[in-house]
Structure 1
Amino acid sequence: MHSSAVNLPLVRRLEAVSFRAWPASSVIYDGSWQIRLTGSHPSKRINCVVPLDPSDYGNCDVRLEKARRRFEDFGRPLIIRETTLMPPELRAHLYDNGWTVFEEVKVMTADLVNAELPETMAHLPTHDIGRFVEASLKVGNEDLSLRSPIAEIVSSIKPNLGLFIKEEVEGDPHATVICVQDNDLAGVLSLEVASAARRMGVGSEILTSALRWARISGAKTAWLQVVSTNVPALALYEKFGFEEAYTYRYWGKDNS
């Protein structure tokens, strides 16, 4: 991950909006390291340490051990999320001490102002969080025990929120997506398409509605995060003009 070609102010801005778009229940700082923990939900984005200053590396042994104990209290393995803001010395330290990268994620952005989106919206957002959570669990074939934790996370999102469900018949959802409009930026999160409805244009349809809503709401740029090995999702997003802004990686030790 070479920071020379990366727009660091943009990285900082996208990191800040992504923290607001998918909030952790506990956030504390150790220097400029953000320590994000959520006891009720295992999502890596809300259970990781994110170093946010390339020069803040001192006492990393002690700080990592302190963070490990804190994660242990939450019943979580310690995960470090490496963006281009992480000190290179910390990356070297992790590598030298047996940590490994176990996932890479692309952060992508698209211009909404000039995007070719239809004037009409096929789907309007719902404000019924309970109904949306039920639909997304069903579409993603997820464990129903996550109902309450996901509802809690979605309820705690502060910026303007659009929850989209694509269904022909109520109670039989084909796709769901969350769109978080934060001033001129709009985040696309948790786009899910039911396995039986894939390759039928459903993902494009619901993403179009979310982006159209975001643009009407005042967003000029859309952003999203996608695992770099998710080829079908990358193909869909590239079709909408999304391009890579930067990548980040998750590091784990004895737990990945």
Structure 2
Amino acid sequence: MATTEADKTGRLANIRRLEALGFRAFPASTTEFDGTWAIRLTPAYPAKRLNSVNPLDPGDNARIAERIEQASRRFRDAGRALTFRLSPLAPQELVNHLDVEGWKRFDETCVLTADLSAIDLSGSIDRLPFKDVERYVEASLSVHERSQKLANGLKRVIEDIAPVKTMYIREAPDGKPLGVAMAIHERDISGVLDVAVAKERRREGIGRDLVSSALAQVRNRGAKSAWVQVEASNAPGLALYQTFGFREAYRYVYRARRTPQL
């Protein structure tokens, strides 16, 4: 079946909504706009999504080389390497320019959505969410195998989340964190993010348990649908979410002159 202009417009509108939800779920310290290019910077935490240029209109394609140079100066002043995060909202002219200039592509990510009314969560465990942000930050960094030196920056990001957030930690009997997850609830839609399991405890159902608990919690809060973001290379993660009924809505990819070492 041919794609109509109305179909295309509706898809782009849905992508814009999901992009906005993602931005609010993981807020940058500053967001400035060059036209419809959202320039997000967070000096205290190096996550790519918090330090990237995010074009939000395929038609905003003027003065590309000039605007890239202006963005480069902003990022340089902030101590960051210029990185673009390109969704289907990015103008094709920008994509072509980056291709010609040899910018690297990396960390392609799938944005998935699901109808919560269609998911069987009868076996989910009603886990008590954590309210201690510092404890969650410590557990998240440990499970992701990231430096605890990033704790203050991540704590600030989480504290700045405006929508209702619910944090989960699965721990071993000795208190060692085994897995983490966070749910962000906003009106009738919720996001599940930061899902991770300690490397030595993967494939034991811990991730499924955390996701199931998070989805049950947000559905009880009134969420009708949910979204997640999973790197395209994460086959086990994609398979997990597909068993819950999540389906791909769109993808985004990062572009930089050199692939950053995070």
C-alpha displacement at 1:198, in angstroms?
A: 1.1
C-alpha displacement at 1:139, in angstroms?
A: 1.9
Give runs of aligned pairs for residues 1-256 of structure 1, distance below 5 A.
4=8, 7-118=11-122, 121-169=125-173, 171-256=175-260
Structure 1, unaligned stretches of length 5 or more? none
C-alpha displacement at 1:93, in angstroms?
A: 1.4
Greater mean alpha carbon deviation, residues 91-100 or residues 204-213: 91-100
Counterpart of 2:22, as a letter, is S
Distance 1:117 1:13, change over 3 A: same
Q: How far apart, CA to CA, are the structure 1 residues paired with 2:30 and 2:92?
A: 26
Distance 1:120 1:49, change over 3 A: closer
**1:23-53 alpha-carbon deviations (Å, 9 max, x no partner):** 0001000011000001011111011001111
Q: How far apart, CA to CA, are the structure 1 residues paired with 2:229 and 2:165?
A: 17
Counterpart of 1:197, as a letter, is R
C-alpha displacement at 1:136, in angstroms?
A: 1.3
**1:96-142 alpha-carbon deviations (Å, 9 max, x no partner):** 22223122110001111221002763312111101111111222222
C-alpha displacement at 1:61, in angstroms?
A: 1.1
Contact 2:108 2:252 in 1 (8 A): yes
Q: How far apart, CA to CA, are the structure 1 residues paired with 2:65 and 2:25?
A: 31
Q: How far apart, CA to CA, are the structure 1 residues paired with 2:55 and 2:141?
A: 32
Q: How far apart, CA to CA, are the structure 2 residues paired with 1:5 and 1:169?
A: 51
What is the DSSP-based 3-state SS (H/G/I as helix, E as strand, rest coil) of the residue aligned with 1:235?
helix
Counterpart of 2:19, as a letter, is E
What is the DSSP-based 3-state SS (H/G/I as helix, E as strand, rest coil) of the residue aligned with 1:113?
helix
What is the DSSP-based 3-state SS (H/G/I as helix, E as strand, rest coil) of the residue aligned with 2:117?
coil
Structure 2, unaligned stretches of length 5 or more? none
Greater mean alpha carbon deviation, residues 111-120 or residues 41-50: 111-120
Counterpart of 2:163, as a letter, is P
User: TM-score w.r.t. structure 2 length?
Assistant: 0.93
Q: How far apart, CA to CA, are the structure 2 residues paired with 1:38 and 1:208?
A: 31
What is the DSSP-based 3-state SS (H/G/I as helix, E as strand, rest coil) of the residue aligned with 1:122?
coil
Counterpart of 2:64, as a letter, is C
Counterpart of 2:214, as a letter, is A
Q: How far apart, CA to CA, are the structure 2 residues paired with 1:110 and 1:223?
A: 7
Contact 2:116 2:225 in 1 (8 A): yes
Q: How far apart, CA to CA, are the structure 2 residues paired with 1:72 and 1:219?
A: 40
Q: CA RMSD in A?
A: 1.8
Query: Aligned pairs, how many?
Result: 255
What is the DSSP-based 3-state SS (H/G/I as helix, E as strand, rest coil) of the residue aligned with 2:79?
coil
What is the DSSP-based 3-state SS (H/G/I as helix, E as strand, rest coil) of the residue aligned with 2:180?
strand
Greater mean alpha carbon deviation, residues 111-120 or residues 84-93: 111-120
Q: How far apart, CA to CA, are the structure 2 residues paired with 1:238 and 1:120?
A: 17
User: TM-score w.r.t. structure 1 length?
Assistant: 0.95
